[in-house]
């Protein structure tokens, strides 16, 4: 069925086969881009023109709130509506070993039989600030592959995850009853970026209270996006209730963005952040390379001996970083 794909296939080959619908090529390309291979990253330029069609949905919420199960149900509902789905499930890398256990697939067993759903687990790999960038690159590949909807699932803690949520066309924030007092939702700092709020495990006692708290907080908020009042959808992901309504709300949000012109404005805003992230990433990598090599060691020692000063050396490093490739 699948023609063999040698491990040393060029990035250009992978990109061509990805566009032609080869799932193994898609999978290998994701790995190459995630690893930061320059040839693979170069292919993103050509692939970009084929993207922009997919609806990017971000799902974030605290551990145990049912994100993976909800994502699975969403995918099933989208498939029922004849939409193809890509899923990126992000889990943390252990800061101690650099390894990770990526367990979201356990909840996604029902999706395995459907070739129009592609699930990819990603570890954060501890790259400072780089998570949002590499996640967006993976999203781009799924978009170029032709997925109608791409769902990115992250644990909603930390700046990187907020960045990913902000890059989504539609951000879903998932809460569950009884996690703590009602101030927790504000502390998390993710309420502001929610386009749709989900109260999952809505069959538990306390769900109504959470809905009421969230509603009150949304009214308090000074959201600049007055035209769109974030709806609150109650779901029970384990049995699928509320999921069809959620998909309706996501579609309405997209329609609202397109109608109001915000779709374009948001994507331009997101492009600004993406360009910054790409530049930051490259500058940091070069800075790392320049300052850890032997070439500058003598200069650092000269600073230690007070023969040179760190400000002038920094100026020279900056020039080197800018010229260097």
Partner 1 sequence: MSDTSPPLRILIAKPGLDGHDRGAKVIARALRDAGFEVIYTGIRQTPEMIAEAALQEDVDAIGLSILSGAHMTLFPRILDELRERGLDDVVVWAGGIIPESDVPKLREMGIRAVFGPGSPTTETIEFLRNLDKNKAAATR
Q: In what order do the strands lie in the sheet with 117-123?
A: 117-123, 85-91, 149-155, 55-61, 170-175, 196-199, 232-234
Distance of CA 48 to the CA centre of its chain: 17
| Residue 113 or 180 having the CB closest to partner 1 | 113
Q: Does 293 bind partner 1 (CB under 8 A)?
A: no
Near partner 1 by CB under 8 A, which window of 91-99, 195-203, 222-230, 257-265?
A: 91-99
* 37 three-state secondary structure: coil
Q: Is 79 in the site for partner 1 (CB under 8 A)?
A: no
Query: Pick from 45, 49, 82, 99: which binds partner 1 (CB under 8 A)?
Result: 99
Under the binding rule (CB under 8 A), the answer on residue 222 touching partner 1 is no
Among 12, 35, 204, 314, binds partner 1 (CB under 8 A): 35
Minimum CB separation of residue 34 from partner 1 in Å reads: 7
Distance of closest approach, residue 102 Cβ to partner 1, in angstroms: 5
Per-residue binding letters, 107-126, with partner 1 (x by CB under 8 A): --x--xx----xxxx-x-x-
Residue 297 CA: distances (Å) to CA of 204, 221, 292, 303, 311: 61, 52, 8, 10, 16
Can you tell me the distance from the alpha carbon of 309 to that of 303, in angstroms, rounded to the nearest whole number?
Answer: 5
Out of 11, 34, 43, 197, point to the residue binding partner 1 (CB under 8 A): 34
7 contributes a contact to partner 1 by CB under 8 A: yes
Neighbours of 80 (CB within 10 A): 11
Please give the Cα distance from 58 to 50 (Å, whole number). Answer: 21
20 binds partner 1 (CB under 8 A): no
Q: Is 191 in the site for partner 1 (CB under 8 A)?
A: no
Nearest alpha carbon to residue 28 among 53, 11, 41, 48: 11
CB 50, min distance to partner 1, A = 20
Helix, strand or coil, per DSSP, at residue 68: helix
CB atoms within 10 A of CB 61: 27
Provide, rounded to whole angstroms, the least separation between the CB of residue 123 and partner 1. Answer: 5
- Identify the bridge partners of residue 86 per DSSP, sorted by sequence position: 118, 150
Q: Which residues contact partner 1 (rule: CB under 8 A)? A: 1-5, 7-8, 23-24, 27-28, 30-31, 34-36, 93-94, 96-103, 105-106, 109, 112-113, 118-121, 123, 125, 127, 284-285, 288-289
């Amino acid at each position: 069925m699948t023609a063999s794909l040698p491990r040393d296939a060029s990035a250009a080959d992978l990109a061509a086969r990805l566009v032609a619908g080869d799932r193994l090529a898609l999978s290998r390309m994701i790995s190459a881009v995630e690893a930061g291979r320059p040839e693979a990253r170069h292919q993103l330029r050509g692939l970009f023109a084929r993207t922009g069609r997919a609806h990017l949905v971000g799902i974030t919420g605290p551990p145990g709130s049912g994100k993976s199960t909800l994502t699975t149900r969403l995918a099933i509902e989208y498939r029922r509506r004849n939409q193809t789905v890509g899923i990126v499930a992000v889990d943390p890398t252990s800061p101690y070993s650099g390894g990770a256990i990526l367990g979201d697939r356990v909840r996604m067993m029902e999706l395995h039989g459907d070739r129009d759903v592609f699930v990819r687990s990603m570890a954060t790999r501890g790259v400072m600030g780089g998570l949002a960038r590499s996640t967006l690159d993976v999203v781009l590949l799924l978009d170029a592959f032709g997925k109608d909807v791409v769902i990115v699932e992250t644990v909603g803690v930390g700046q990187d995850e907020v960045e990913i949520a902000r890059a989504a066309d539609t951000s879903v924030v998932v809460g569950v009853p009884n996690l703590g007092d009602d101030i927790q939702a504000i502390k998390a700092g993710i309420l502001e970026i929610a386009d749709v709020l989900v109260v999952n495990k809505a069959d538990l006692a306390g769900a109504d209270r959470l809905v009421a708290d969230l509603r009150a907080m949304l009214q308090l908020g000074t959201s600049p996006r007055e035209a769109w009042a974030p709806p609150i959808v109650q779901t029970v992901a384990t049995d699928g209730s509320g999921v069809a309504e959620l998909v309706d709300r996501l579609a309405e949000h997209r329609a609202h963005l397109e109608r109001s012109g915000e779709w374009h404005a948001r994507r331009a805003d997101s492009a600004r952040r993406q360009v910054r992230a790409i530049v930051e990433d490259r500058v940091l990598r070069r800075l790392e390379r320049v300052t850890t090599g032997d070439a500058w060691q003598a200069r650092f020692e000269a600073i230690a001996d007070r023969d040179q000063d760190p400000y002038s050396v920094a100026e020279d490093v900056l020039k080197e970083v800018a010229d260097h490739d």
